[in-house]
């Protein structure tokens, strides 16, 4: 048995020099290590080996197998390296060739406006607060001084899920929530999706708003005005003028609507602003004391101002987008134009 094994060892090392490529290597492997191979055959004869000799024979078998396996592995590596070298020598890569160029992505026009507005607010101390899109009637309306059957509900064609549950129609719902959870003084903005049953070139059933709320001891209309002016100038440019018109919202008293200089014609009057030089962009006002009280805030001690606007509308005005729906179709041709 030992002799047989020594013979296999000699043959294996003698025949290794004849292994010159992958095919002969495969045949060599089968011959010595395969199921019908020389080593396996010897192992089958183990039964005839006396028990005291078995460990010695076994150890020798293992030693030979290991030697053959590592020789085979070395040959494999050798052939692979040779193949790679051949390929490298025959192929030529021209590293001086100009690249074909690859497409660069860009932020969506809406994300760009969001970033500008949020950055501007965060820089002056606002905290970003989130709220649920599936909202209770209470936070979307009642806590904002819009009781059930109030006519102001008509303006916000709301998607109701049940009597008390709806898709929020305004991010003002987040101010109602924030009042309950935060202790004044605080400054928050809440950007997010809102829903209304409306669809045409300037209305989409889902759109985006950003709400701002400041609650402190001595805030006034003058603070609101200066803050909005600086925010709109950061967004539309330093030459932007703001116009405040009296208006009505149930949650603010007094309430204003805010117009900004049309960024297309810079106040000259054009098709976009219908010749007026201004665009109506925001709703705002001094928070109605009733709303503060419902939010658990002492309206004798604290006052608040709030503002809200459509982010999509800002993006449309800034980038001259005619149809709000094109912002949600994600047509790559449209998005490329907006880069």
Q: Is the peptide bond before 254 cis (omega within 30 degrees of 0)?
A: yes
User: Using the 8-state DSSP alphabet, how is residue 200 labeled?
Assistant: B
Does residue 284 touch ligand DAH according to CB under 6 A?
A: yes
Rounded Cα gap, residues 266 and 240, in angstroms: 8
Does residue 314 touch ligand DAH according to CB under 6 A?
A: no
- Least distance from C-beta 312 to ligand DAH, angstroms? 12
- Least distance from C-beta 103 to ligand DAH, angstroms? 37
In the region spanning residues 222 to 251, those forming contacts with ligand DAH, defined by CB under 6 A, are 249
Site string for ligand DAH, 252-281 (x = CB under 6 A): x-----------------------------
- Least distance from C-beta 213 to ligand DAH, angstroms? 7
Q: List strands edge to edge, sheet with 278-287.
A: 127-128, 186-195, 206-216, 303-310, 278-287, 252-261, 242-249
Does residue 307 touch ligand DAH according to CB under 6 A?
A: yes
- Least distance from C-beta 104 to ligand DAH, angstroms? 36
- Based on CB atoms, which residue is closest to ligand DAH, 170 or 204? 170
- Based on CB atoms, which residue is closest to ligand DAH, 37 or 308? 308
Out of 140, 145, 158, 170, point to the residue binding ligand DAH (CB under 6 A): 170
What number of CA atoms fall less than 13 Å from residue 207's CA on the CB side? 28
For ligand DAH (CB under 6 A), the number of binding residues is 11
Does residue 306 touch ligand DAH according to CB under 6 A?
A: yes
Among 60, 36, 57, smallest CA distance to 46 is for 57
- Least distance from C-beta 246 to ligand DAH, angstroms? 13
Q: How far is CA 239 from CA 75, 222, 225, in A?
A: 76, 20, 16
What number of CA atoms fall less than 13 Å from residue 249's CA on the CB side? 25
Rounded Cα gap, residues 284 and 282, in angstroms: 6
Among 204, 208, 187, smallest CA distance to 133 is for 208
Please spell the DSSP secondary structure of 156-189, one letter per residue.
Answer: S---EEETTEEE-S-THHHHHHHHHH-PSSEEEE
Out of 273, 308, 313, 327, point to the residue binding ligand DAH (CB under 6 A): 308
The four Cα atoms 65, 68, 70, 75 give a dihedral, to 10 degrees, of: -160
- Least distance from C-beta 267 to ligand DAH, angstroms? 24
Does residue 37 touch ligand DAH according to CB under 6 A?
A: no
- Least distance from C-beta 287 to ligand DAH, angstroms? 7
Does residue 172 touch ligand DAH according to CB under 6 A?
A: yes
Rounded Cα gap, residues 186 and 125, in angstroms: 9
Say if residues 127 and 215 touch (Cβ distance below 8 Å). Answer: no
Out of 109, 191, 285, 295, point to the residue binding ligand DAH (CB under 6 A): 285
Out of 25, 176, 184, 211, point to the residue binding ligand DAH (CB under 6 A): 211
237: left (phi over 0), alpha (psi -120 to 50) or beta: left
Rounded Cα gap, residues 43 and 49, in angstroms: 10
- Based on CB atoms, which residue is closest to ligand DAH, 273 or 282? 282
The piece of 269-277, 301-309, 313-321, 323-331 that touches ligand DAH (CB under 6 A) is: 301-309
Strand partners, 203: 200
- Least distance from C-beta 119 to ligand DAH, angstroms? 20
The piece of 53-61, 85-93, 199-207, 283-291 that touches ligand DAH (CB under 6 A) is: 283-291
- Based on CB atoms, which residue is closest to ligand DAH, 28 or 249? 249
Residues in touch with ligand DAH (CB under 6 A) = 170, 172, 211, 249, 252, 283-285, 306-308
């Amino acid at each position: 048995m030992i002799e047989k094994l020594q013979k296999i060892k000699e043959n294996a090392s003698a025949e290794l020099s004849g292994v010159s490529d992958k095919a002969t290597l495969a045949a060599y492997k089968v011959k010595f290590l395969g199921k019908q191979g020389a080593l396996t055959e010897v192992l089958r004869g183990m039964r005839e080996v006396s028990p005291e000799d078995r460990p010695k024979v076994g150890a020798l078998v293992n030693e030979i197998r290991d030697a053959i396996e590592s020789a085979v592995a070395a040959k494999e590596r050798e052939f692979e390296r040779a193949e790679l070298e051949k390929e490298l020598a025959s192929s030529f890569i021209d590293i001086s060739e100009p690249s074909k160029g690859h497409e660069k992505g860009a932020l969506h026009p809406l994300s760009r406006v969001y970033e500008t507005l949020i950055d501007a607010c965060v820089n002056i101390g606002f905290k970003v607060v989130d709220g649920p899109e599936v909202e209770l009637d209470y936070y979307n309306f009642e806590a904002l001084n819009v009781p059930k059957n109030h006519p102001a509900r008509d303006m916000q064609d709301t998607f109701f899920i049940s009597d008390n549950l709806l898709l929020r129609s305004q991010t003002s719902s987040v101010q109602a929530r924030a009042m309950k959870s935060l202790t004044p003084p605080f400054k928050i903005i809440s950007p997010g999706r809102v829903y209304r049953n409306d669809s045409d070139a300037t209305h989409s059933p889902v759109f985006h708003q950003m709400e701002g709320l400041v609650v402190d001891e001595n805030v006034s209309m003058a603070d609101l005005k200066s803050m909005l002016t600086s925010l709109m100038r950061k967004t539309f440019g330093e030459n932007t003028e703001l116009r405040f018109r009296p208006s009505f919202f149930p949650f603010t008293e007094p309430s204003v609507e805010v117009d900004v200089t049309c960024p297309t014609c810079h106040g000259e009057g054009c098709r976009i602003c219908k010749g007026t030089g201004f665009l109506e962009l925001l709703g705002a006002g001094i928070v109605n004391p009733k709303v503060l009280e419902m939010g658990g805030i002492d309206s004798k001690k604290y006052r608040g101002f709030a503002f809200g606007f459509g982010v999509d509308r800002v993006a449309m005005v800034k980038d001259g987008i005619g149809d709000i729906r094109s912002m949600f179709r994600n047509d790559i041709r449209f998005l490329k134009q907006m880069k």
